[in-house]
Amino acid sequence: MDIERDNSGDECDRADYFIESVIDDHVKEAMRKANEIPLGNPGECDMCGDYFSRLVNGACGFCRDKYVV
């Protein structure tokens, strides 16, 4: 019984470690992308045509959220 419990614990620990490492990669990737994002400029969005005080690569935040994964 003790051995079974220990085994499931190990699997749990491995799963947690795996998830944490995946999240860590995502955080690093997000930080890398955030560092690459320029401050942006005001203007009309290339995608929706509305005026925004801050465009990045010609797209407003809404369009970037919608189309950039």
**What is the spatial distance between Cα 26 and Cα 33, in angstroms, rounded to a whole number?**
10
Closer residue to Zn ion in complex, CB, 21/41: 41
Q: Does 48 interact with Zn ion (rule: CB under 5 A)?
A: yes
Q: Is 47 in the site for Zn ion (CB under 5 A)?
A: yes
**Running DSSP on this structure, what letter comes out for residue 8?**
H
Answer yes or no whether residue 56 interacts with Zn ion by CB under 5 A: no
Return d(Cα 55, Cα 11) in angstroms, integer: 46
Work out whether 63 is an interface residue with Zn ion (CB under 5 A): yes
Q: Which residues bind Zn ion (CB under 5 A)?
A: 45, 47-48, 60, 63
